[in-house]
Amino acid sequence: MSDWLIPLAITVASVCTVLLVWRRLHPASFWLIVGYPLKTLHVYVTWGNVALGCTLTRKRRRWRYTLDGLPIVGQATIALSQRRKVRRVQIDKPPRLGIVRPCRLGFRINVKLMDGQTPEDYSARLSNLAHAWRVHSVRLISSRPGRVTLLATRGDPLSEVRILVLSEGLLRVRVGLLETGAPWVVDFRTVPHWLNTGATQSGKSTLLNALITGLSAQPVALVGFDLKGGVELTAYGPRLSAIATERTECVGLLNDLICLVKTRMALCRANKTRNIWKLPEDLRPTPVVVLVDEVAELFLMAHKGEKDEIASTATALLRLAQLGRAFGLYLFVCGQRVGSDLGPGVTALRSQLSGRVCHRVNDPETATMTLGDTDPAALDAARQIPANMPGTAVVVADDGRWYRARSVYVSEEIAEAAAHANAELTPAWADLLTGTDTVTVTDADLEALAREGEPT
Ligand X SMILES: Nc1ncnc2c1ncn2[C@@H]1O[C@H](COP(=O)(O)OP(=O)(O)OP(=O)(O)O)[C@@H](O)[C@H]1O
Ligand-binding annotation for 198, yes or no, is: yes
Please enumerate in sequence order all residues whose Cβ is within 8 A of that of 39, keeping only pairs 6 or more positions apart, or say none. Answer: 100, 107, 133
Ligand-binding annotation for 202, yes or no, is: yes
Residue with CB nearest Mg ion? 205
Q: What, of Mg ion, ligand X, none, does residue 368 touch, CB below 5 to 8 Å by kind?
A: none
Please enumerate in sequence order all residues whose Cβ is within 8 A of that of 256, keeping only pairs 6 or more positions apart, or say none. Answer: 242, 429, 433, 436
Q: How many of the chain's residues bind Mg ion (CB under 5 A)? A: 1
| Longest Cα–Cα distance in the chain | 102
Q: Which is nearer to ligand X, 106 or 391 (CB)?
A: 391
Q: What, of ligand X, Mg ion, none, does residue 196 touch, CB below 5 to 8 Å by kind?
A: none
203 forms part of the interface with ligand X (CB under 6 A): yes
Collapsing DSSP to helix, strand or coil, 396 comes out as strand
Q: Which stretch binds ligand X (CB under 6 A): 137-145, 194-202, 423-431, 435-443?
A: 194-202
Burial class (CB in 10 A: 0-12, 13-18, 19+), 278: middle
Ligand-binding annotation for 352, yes or no, is: no
Which of 149, 153, 205, 336 binds Mg ion (CB under 5 A)? It is 205
Q: How many of the chain's residues bind ligand X (CB under 6 A)? A: 14
197 forms part of the interface with Mg ion (CB under 5 A): no
Asked if 407 and 206 count as a contact pair (C-beta separation under 8 A), the reply is yes
Pattern of binders to ligand X over 321-340, x per CB under 6 A?
A: ---------------x----
202 forms part of the interface with ligand X (CB under 6 A): yes
Q: How many CA atoms lie within 13 A of 432 on its CB side?
A: 26
Ligand-binding annotation for 127, yes or no, is: no
Q: Could you tell me the smallest distance in angstroms from the CB atom of residue 232 to Mg ion?
A: 6
108 forms part of the interface with ligand X (CB under 6 A): no
Give the residues across from 221 on adjacent strands: 288
200 forms part of the interface with ligand X (CB under 6 A): yes
Residue with CB nearest ligand X? 391
153 forms part of the interface with ligand X (CB under 6 A): no
205 forms part of the interface with ligand X (CB under 6 A): yes
Q: Closest by alpha carbon to 286, among 371, 215, 205?
A: 215
Phi, psi of 400 (to 5 degrees): 85, -10
Asked if 131 and 122 count as a contact pair (C-beta separation under 8 A), the reply is no
204 forms part of the interface with ligand X (CB under 6 A): yes
Please, what's the b/e burial string for 98-121 (b: 16 or more CB within 10 A of its CB; e: otherwise)? eebebeebbbbbbbebbeebebeb
Q: Could you tell me the smallest distance in angstroms from the CB atom of residue 12 to Mg ion?
A: 54
Q: What, of Mg ion, ligand X, none, does residue 336 touch, CB below 5 to 8 Å by kind?
A: ligand X
Ligand-binding annotation for 200, yes or no, is: yes
Q: Which is nearer to Mg ion, 186 or 316 (CB)?
A: 186
Which of 390, 397, 418, 422 binds ligand X (CB under 6 A)? It is 390
Q: Which stretch binds Mg ion (CB under 5 A): 87-95, 103-111, 198-206, 233-241?
A: 198-206
Strands across the sheet containing 147-153: 101-103, 106-112, 147-153, 137-144
Q: Could you tell me the smallest distance in angstroms from the CB atom of residue 314 to Mg ion?
A: 22
Distances (CA, A) of 9 to 5, 6, 14, 21, 367: 6, 5, 9, 18, 55
For β-strands 329-335 and 288-293, DSSP reports them as parallel
Q: Could you tell me the smallest distance in angstroms from the CB atom of residue 155 to ligand X?
A: 17
224 forms part of the interface with ligand X (CB under 6 A): no
Ligand-binding annotation for 201, yes or no, is: yes
Please, what's the b/e burial string for 140-178 (b: 16 or more CB within 10 A of its CB; e: otherwise)? bbebeeeebbbbbbbeebbeebeeebbbeeebbbbbbbb
196 forms part of the interface with ligand X (CB under 6 A): no
Q: Which is nearer to Mg ion, 106 or 176 (CB)?
A: 176
57 forms part of the interface with Mg ion (CB under 5 A): no
Q: Which is nearer to ligand X, 224 or 390 (CB)?
A: 390
Alpha-carbon distance of 44 to 109, in angstroms, equals 11
Please enumerate in sequence order all residues whose Cβ is within 8 A of that of 24, keeping only pairs 6 or more positions apart, or say none. Answer: none
Q: Could you tell me the smallest distance in angstroms from the CB atom of residue 302 to Mg ion?
A: 21
Is the alpha carbon torsion for 256, 261, 262, 267 positive or negative? Answer: positive
Q: Which is nearer to ligand X, 264 or 356 (CB)?
A: 356
Please enumerate in sequence order all residues whose Cβ is within 8 A of that of 221, keeping only pairs 6 or more positions apart, or say none. Answer: 241, 286, 287, 288, 289, 426, 427, 432
Q: Could you tell me the smallest distance in angstroms from the CB atom of residue 164 to ligand X?
A: 13
Interface contacts to ligand X, rule CB under 6 A: 198, 200-206, 336, 390-391, 406-407, 409
Q: Which residues are annotated as a binding site?
A: 198-205
Binding residues for Mg ion, rule: CB under 5 A, are 205
Instruction: Point out the annotated binding site for ATP.
Output: 198-205
